[in-house]
A and B are shown apart, each in its own frame.
Chain A
Amino acid sequence: MRFILVLLGILVSHASQALPALPVTEVMPGIFVHVSEHHWPDRDNHGEIANIGFIVGDDCVAVVDSGGSPQQGIALHKAIKKATTKPICYVINTHVHPDHIYGNRAFKEKAVQFVGHHKLERAMATRGPHYLSKADELLDLRVTASNIIPPDLPVKDSMTLNLGNRELVLTAHPTAHTDNDLSVYDKKTNTMWLADLLFLEHIPVIDGSIKGWLNELARLEKNHYKLVIPGHGPLVRDWPVSLQPQKAYLTQLASEIRAMIKQGKTLEYAVDHVGLSTKQHWQLFEQFHRKNITIAYAELEWED
């Protein structure tokens, strides 16, 4: 038995040694981000398509989204060890989507607390079986329930984490991109990590509520941030200018769908006709636009 364990240990450490640290950039003092390219999650990229990273305080480190695959989680772990000797104390999952949580297990240690929206655990429970059952076929990943780690610290409205001379204010948002969106605000540098509440270049993906999302954007738009980190797309240093394309897209979608519902047009019709003029502005339009219409229509038809 001991021999097998040793062998396993060698194999595991070998596998992780072979893996290079994830490239990250220090975008503000102590804030490190890996900015991803825009791809449909598939067997080549293994779902490693989201912006992920970490924030370093005087005492410890908070991971913000762990990656789209167990391997990317390990690579991110390495990037942290390269950047600092401080221990990791928190893993913050900004929402349930696999490209943000499948690296969780690389950080599972006694001293590490997982943090998420208070509805994250339920979303993990209900979506987990489906995600896991598709991971091999769609992403070429072997993952189990142990890769999806529910939060130890659920955030109801907001919560402040202190990393040592660095306070992070976490906000649990009402349903927007999903029903479990959590943002991370770094007081020290006036940086807002919005994750998938903000998309640039990559078409926004609605998996929660179009109305709720527009409401949250209207609220966030009034704030002043030095830096905003989106879940998909380049870093934003001109807030709220870079928010406008996403806001315009969602606004147009909502208004065209409302008009069609009023005219008695069906969901099937809406899917083929809404928002086609927005196509040129977005990458992965073909993959997500019809889904967005579907989910928005199903929400807006209950409005009155």
Chain B
Amino acid sequence: MSKLQKIAYLLMILPAIALAEGDDITWNNSLKNQFFAGKTIEESNAVIELEAPYRAEDPAIVPVKVVSKMPQTQDKYIKKIWVFVDKNPFPFVGEFEFFPESGKADLAMRVRVNTYSNIRAIAETNDGKFTMSKKFVKASGGCSAPIGADLDEAMKRLGKVKFRLDDGMQVGQPTQAQLMISHPNITGMQMDQMTRFVRKSHFIDQLHVTFNDKPVLNAKIDIAISADPNFRFYFVPDKPGELKANFSDISCESPTSRAVCKPGEHYSQQYTVTP
């Protein structure tokens, strides 16, 4: 290769390198207007910070975590957090509503990441301000696919729920709870000529967690949530009581449109908390 050719080649691949490190094209061209039309969003890690692995080891199960930088008080709190995986066929992961009673607006979950992409979380505080934190995640490729490994096993357990609480819970202190829901969360992405075995998209779309009937977390979620949805969040056990999860699933005709959907089942599970 001549020197000139080398330079020409470098110039050609430079934009590709820049793109590979995470671009905001999908965000700027569609997501921002679709979800936050007319809003000013500050990019900063001052209110929330998104944590994600640099490489998606298994694209079907990528652990991501939103860490809040402020406590939830009646005066000032994070109201909502949205999460997106820009380059997924359906980028919207979920919209999560928090309350002063949540104690802390931290949220950990597992998501599907189809390809090299920015993942972003946007927080709205009760003063109406929006803040965004993002991370670039490299897809892992290889033989993996962003679906579950054992569909039948997940179907067998469908609707089973587990709660886990941190050890050393203290009365009145924000305490971390883990909610595990067994559900295949089927994306509905499949080859048309071979669909006779596979359902259309079938996923959990609504989740409400309460403690003693006071809201802790409300979520509207979608197919980017991994099979067997798994969330870690906080609540404040001010006295003994019931931590309760209500959720429902839905089935949609198209994996990337929510125009034609059929509501599915409702599920409910509670857990007795004795701090």
Q: Which residues does A use to contact B, with CB under 8 Å?
A: 40-41, 97-99, 119, 121-122, 124-131, 134, 138, 145, 148, 150, 175, 178-179, 205-209, 212, 264, 266-268, 271, 287-288, 290-291, 293-295, 298-299, 301-302
Contacts and interface: CB of A to CB of B under 8 A. Distances in A.
Q: Report, as a range, how many residues of chain B touch the other chain.
A: 35 or more
Contacts of B162: 302
Given A148-B191, A175-B153, A295-B61, A121 B197 contact: yes
Given A121-B194, A145-B191, A294 B58 contact: yes
A127 B146 CA distance: 8
Nearest to A209: B150
Nearest to A118: B197
A228 B243 CA distance: 53
Does more than half of chain A's interface fall in helix, strand or loop, or is it mixed? helix
Interface of B: 53, 57-58, 60-61, 63, 65, 108, 110, 114-115, 140-147, 149-153, 157, 160, 162, 164, 166-167, 180, 182, 189-191, 193-195, 197-198, 226-228, 232
A231 to B, nearest CB: 11
Contacts of B114: 130
Contacts of A295: 58, 60-61, 149
Contacts of B151: 122, 126, 179
Q: Identify the interface centre among A119, A126, A207, A295: most chain B CB within 10 Å of its CB.
A: A126
Contact of B190 (A129, A266, A291): A129
Does more than half of chain B's interface fall in helix, strand or loop, or is it mixed? loop
Contact of A126 (B115, B180, B182, B190): B190
Given A128-B191, A291-B144, A294-B61, A207 B149 contact: yes
Contacts of B141: 41, 134, 138
Contacts of B146: 130
A48 to B, nearest CB: 14
Given A98-B143, A294-B58, 16 more contacts: A40-B142, A122-B198, A126-B147, A126-B198, A128-B191, A129-B190, A130-B146, A150-B194, A207-B143, A264-B164, A267-B63, A287-B142, A291-B144, A298-B110, A299-B149, A302-B228
